[in-house]
């Protein structure tokens, strides 16, 4: 494979699209988080997108429980510092206020590895109103157990002939998101049914399981992500403050590639907008 993306060229992206691959082989020299040490999947995604590196994640090197879910390594909530799904629902919402057994929850928070984690557990991340809303969110979030040892992120141009791409993620600003959205819907014309925003999902969940789910459907959709506050903080220095991710299953990517010739991307209106650096 290893070809230049016509979509990325026509849209004027600063970075190369990133492919997600399921593999039983660990790429040599790939970036990898340390076993049982907290880390952010999206930070490594940023290194892949911005620096052209390759990153690999395994069932012991996914960084955090949310990262494991996002990449497709099941749902190991018990490995989170909250310890149980019930407490995890409190962590993502209103912390101690939502705990059924406050004494138990405080004890878990007190045993956290550092003061920042203790504070986060007690206050909650406040990403959702209460634990009930988080439970609803978890019910909607796809669960995958990928049929491979590793999930690999690499620039699309580095994909080998023997590798199968699962998803492709573009890093784009607002103008480029508009172009990618139109191109994703170019052949379908369904207006609201071809692009979705992964509201509330972690950055890795948006480019991972939320996009995996679209593969093989009758109407595969693009998923806009990097709406995750933590991920945006972690990647700000590498990616800047004006970017979102636009992830598509590989079959939709191939459709978009075919539709670049003859589309609005070849006309002056888009080219003027694309090239306007003001």
Q: How far is CA 204 from CA 201, 267, 277, in A?
A: 8, 34, 29
Give percent of the chain with pLDDT exceeding 70: 99
Q: Note the pLDDT of residue 199.
A: 87
Measured CA to CA, the distance from residue 108 to residue 156 in angstroms comes to 43
Q: Note the pLDDT of residue 4.
A: 84
Q: Note the pLDDT of residue 183.
A: 98
Q: Note the pLDDT of residue 229.
A: 92
For 181-187, what is the mean pLDDT?
A: 96
Give percent of the chain with pLDDT exceeding 90: 87
* pLDDT band for position 191 (cuts 50, 70, 90): confident
Q: Note the pLDDT of residue 37.
A: 82
Average pLDDT, the chain: 94
Residue 158 has pLDDT above 90, yes or no: yes
- Residues linked to residue 56 through DSSP beta bridges, in sequence order: 152
* pLDDT band for position 245 (cuts 50, 70, 90): very high
Spans of all domains in the chain:
6-66+144-275, 76-140
* pLDDT band for position 114 (cuts 50, 70, 90): confident
Q: Note the pLDDT of residue 79.
A: 86
* pLDDT band for position 2 (cuts 50, 70, 90): low
């Amino acid at each position: 494979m290893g070809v230049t993306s016509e979509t990325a060229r026509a849209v004027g992206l600063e970075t190369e699209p990133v492919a997600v691959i399921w593999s039983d082989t660990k790429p040599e020299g790939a970036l990898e988080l340390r076993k049982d040490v907290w880390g952010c999947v999206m930070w490594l995604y940023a290194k892949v997108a911005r620096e052209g590196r390759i990153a690999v994640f395994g069932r012991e090197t996914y960084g955090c429980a949310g990262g494991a879910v996002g990449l497709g390594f099941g749902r190991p909530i018990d490995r989170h510092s909250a310890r149980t799904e019930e407490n995890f629902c409190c962590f993502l919402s209103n912390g101690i206020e939502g705990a059924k057994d406050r004494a138990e929850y405080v004890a878990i928070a007190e045993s956290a590895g550092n003061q920042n984690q203790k504070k986060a557990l007690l206050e909650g991340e406040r990403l959702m109103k209460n634990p009930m809303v988080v439970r609803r969110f978890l019910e909607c979030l796809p669960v995958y157990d990928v049929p491979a040892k590793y999930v690999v992120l690499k620039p699309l141009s580095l994909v080998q002939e023997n590798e199968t791409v699962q998803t492709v993620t573009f890093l784009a600003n607002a103008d480029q998101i508009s172009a990618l959205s139109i191109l994703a819907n170019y052949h379908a014309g369904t207006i609201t049914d071809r692009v979705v925003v992964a509201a509330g999902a972690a950055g890795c969940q948006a480019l991972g399981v939320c996009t995996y789910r679209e593969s093989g459907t009758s109407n595969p959709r693009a998923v806009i992500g990097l709406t995750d506050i933590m991920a945006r903080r972690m990647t700000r220095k590498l990616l800047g403050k004006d970017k979102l991710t636009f992830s598509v299953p590989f079959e939709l990517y191939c459709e978009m590639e075919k539709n670049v010739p003859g589309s609005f991307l070849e006309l002056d209106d888009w080219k003027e907008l694309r090239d306007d650096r003001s």
